[in-house]
Amino acid sequence: MSLSLPTRTVNRAWRLSALLLLCVCSIRRARAEATLFLEEPYSYDGALAGTGHAAVYLSGLCAETPVKLRLCRADETGVVLSRYHRVAGYDWIAIPLVPYLYAVEKEEDIPLFADKKMVAFLRDRYRRNYLEKLIPDLPNGGAPPGDWYELVGASYLRTIYAYEIETTPALDAALIRKLNSGPNHDRFNLITANCSDFARMIIDFYHPHAVHRSIIGDLGVTTPKQLARTLSRYSHHHPELQSSSFAIAQVPGTTPRSKPVHGVTECGLTAKKYMLPLFALHPYIAGSLIAGYLGHGRFDPSKHTLILNATDDLDLPPTRADRRNYQSRLQELTQSATSVTSVSPGAAASEHRWESQLAAAEPAIDATGKPAVQVSVDGEIKGVGIARTNILTATTDSEFAIGLVEARLREELKPAIIRKTARSDVENDLLLLERLLAQQARELAAAALARETSYNAAHPPSNESASRSNPIP
């Protein structure tokens, strides 16, 4: 999975031009690039500060070990570097791109819909396979506590905005020497050495003075949003450098959706719990916050942003008209599904039943090594694939698979989520649901025929009834 494509999107015309370019250009390129990841906040960060997280994806650097770098081979896609706190005592750790985003090794293994149990299962499986030396099991064999979970599966927790800029292989090699030879000990400090400070150091190594902190907007603290704002401006002023920006959507699931990212003064200005007391007690400070926001806080990473879809292309988010059409199509499909089943419990009851099945389901890996779940169906345990490449397997439970794709579509079509979703992903999900419903209809027809055949074999017609049904003239 590579993340390079030269696009500059400032209005609809530019976005349409970029989309046309995608029809003839692959997203993969044989050149080096550094990509700043601006990651939306979640959990306590989303509720309190809202500054999010920063990391850097480097397409030319790969991991000999999680703490030792080398140049990538032709078939490799690079690593994500970030500063961590309380993870095996290291300052930075390198994780391959796909595992960093999804906690799986291959793009085709990404789950269509994930709950907390599945996310924890995939993360721990990757830890046991590749990070056991850094993060060993507990004495009882269980997964250890701590912040190591931030190493893998970032896209289950948040939407990520990517800002890519061209680099050179020579600088890649120089950065490898610098990081491999330098100290790598935990030095995290929220104010002076946070994740954004590390990302700033990496970007600055390739392009000196391209990014910087803001004294007014962030009170001197380096923040992910400030890095994105300054790198975006730097790219605009250096058109000779190939650059792009796009979003990597949060995987649909039951985990809470991430929140918009803010700077320091913006957090104070946009949160009533902070701003109202400041206006009442310190109006001059409140006025300074407003001035800082007007100068630095209006940068919106989600504005005019293309979305990376499931096939590694960039696409537009659906329009309002698209959303209405998709909702109508989803309703038509679900109504047609109930018409071919003997029991039609209604949409709400069906959704509740599926959610109960999901809560009881256990994460698993199928025979091909892809993520799946085990569900109980009429007292029988069945496996259900949950990736695009195994959800249509004939041996799985169609009803659960249909519910999973419906849940994904309901999540994608929410007003707050639709602008972070690729239009082609929604269309492909509707086609997938249609295929699953057709598969279910075939299964029901085959089951009905089997029952009829079994009944006829057990109850052959008598000679008398046969005579009545076939009278001799």
What are the distances in angstroms from CA 155 to CA 102, 135, 251, 280, 337? 6, 21, 6, 40, 32
Mean pLDDT of the chain: 85
Give the highest mean pLDDT range of 141-150, 244-253, 270-279, 286-295.
Answer: 244-253
Q: pLDDT class for 99, splitting at 50, 70, 90? A: very high
- The strand pair at 243-248 and 380-385 is best described as unpaired
| DSSP 3-state of 163 | strand
Where do we find the tokens 């995608």?
Answer: 22
- Tens digits of per-residue pLDDT, 201-248? 999 999 999 999 988 777 789 999 999 999 999 999 999 999 999 999
Neighbours of 47 (CB within 10 A): 13
Task: Give backbone dihedrals phi and psi of 463, rounded to 5 degrees, phi first.
Answer: -65, -35
Q: pLDDT class for 125, splitting at 50, 70, 90? A: very high
pLDDT at 442: 87
CA–CA gap between residue 86 and residue 243 (Å, rounded): 34
pLDDT at 162: 98
Neighbours of 35 (CB within 10 A): 27
**Helix locations, 340-460, DSSP H:** 347-360, 398-412, 415-418, 423-458
Over range 128-156, report the average pLDDT: 94
Structure tokens at 180: 């491999």
- Candidate from 81-85, 267-271, 411-415 with smallest mean pLDDT: 267-271
Shared-domain flag, residues 305 and 373: no
Shared-domain flag, residues 346 and 249: no
Shared-domain flag, residues 40 and 183: yes
pLDDT at 8: 47
Over range 410-418, report the average pLDDT: 95
* pLDDT above 70 for 467: no
Number of domains in the chain: 2
pLDDT at 35: 98
Q: pLDDT class for 274, splitting at 50, 70, 90? A: very low
- Candidate from 40-49, 177-186, 266-275, 377-386 with smallest mean pLDDT: 266-275
pLDDT at 227: 96
Shared-domain flag, residues 331 and 427: yes
Which is higher by pLDDT, 45 or 189?
189
* Inside any domain, residue 399: yes
DSSP string, 137-157: PPTTSPPP-SGGGGGS-GGGT
Shared-domain flag, residues 134 and 80: yes
CA–CA gap between residue 159 and residue 40 (Å, rounded): 6
| Cα–Cα–Cα angle for 262, 423, 333, rounded to 5 degrees | 125
CA–CA gap between residue 299 and residue 297 (Å, rounded): 6
Instruction: Give the type of residue at 186.
Output: D
Shared-domain flag, residues 75 and 191: yes
Q: pLDDT class for 273, splitting at 50, 70, 90? A: very low
- The strand pair at 53-58 and 79-83 is best described as antiparallel
Nearest residue to 238 via CA among 207, 193, 204, 268: 207
Q: pLDDT class for 25, splitting at 50, 70, 90? A: very low
pLDDT at 31: 64
* pLDDT above 70 for 22: no
* pLDDT above 70 for 268: no
pLDDT at 9: 45
Shared-domain flag, residues 138 and 77: yes
pLDDT > 70: percent of the chain:
80
pLDDT at 160: 98
Shared-domain flag, residues 112 and 139: yes
pLDDT at 266: 75
* pLDDT above 80 for 461: no
Residue 421, burial from CB neighbour count under 10 angstroms (0-12, 13-18, 19+): buried
* Inside any domain, residue 281: no
pLDDT at 377: 79
* Inside any domain, residue 287: no
pLDDT at 372: 95
Specify the DSSP class assigned to residue 253: B
Q: pLDDT class for 337, splitting at 50, 70, 90? A: low
Shared-domain flag, residues 305 and 347: no
pLDDT at 374: 93
Shared-domain flag, residues 370 and 428: yes
- The strand pair at 362-365 and 371-377 is best described as antiparallel
Range of the domain at 161: 12-261+301-315
Shared-domain flag, residues 445 and 372: yes
* Inside any domain, residue 307: yes
pLDDT at 336: 76
Shared-domain flag, residues 193 and 222: yes
DSSP string, 86-103: SSTT-SEEEEEHHHHHHS
Spatial neighbors of 122 by CB under 8 A, at least 6 apart, are: 102, 103, 104, 111, 114, 152, 153, 363, 371
* Inside any domain, residue 211: yes
CA–CA gap between residue 230 and residue 209 (Å, rounded): 9
CA–CA gap between residue 37 and residue 305 (Å, rounded): 14
* Inside any domain, residue 26: yes
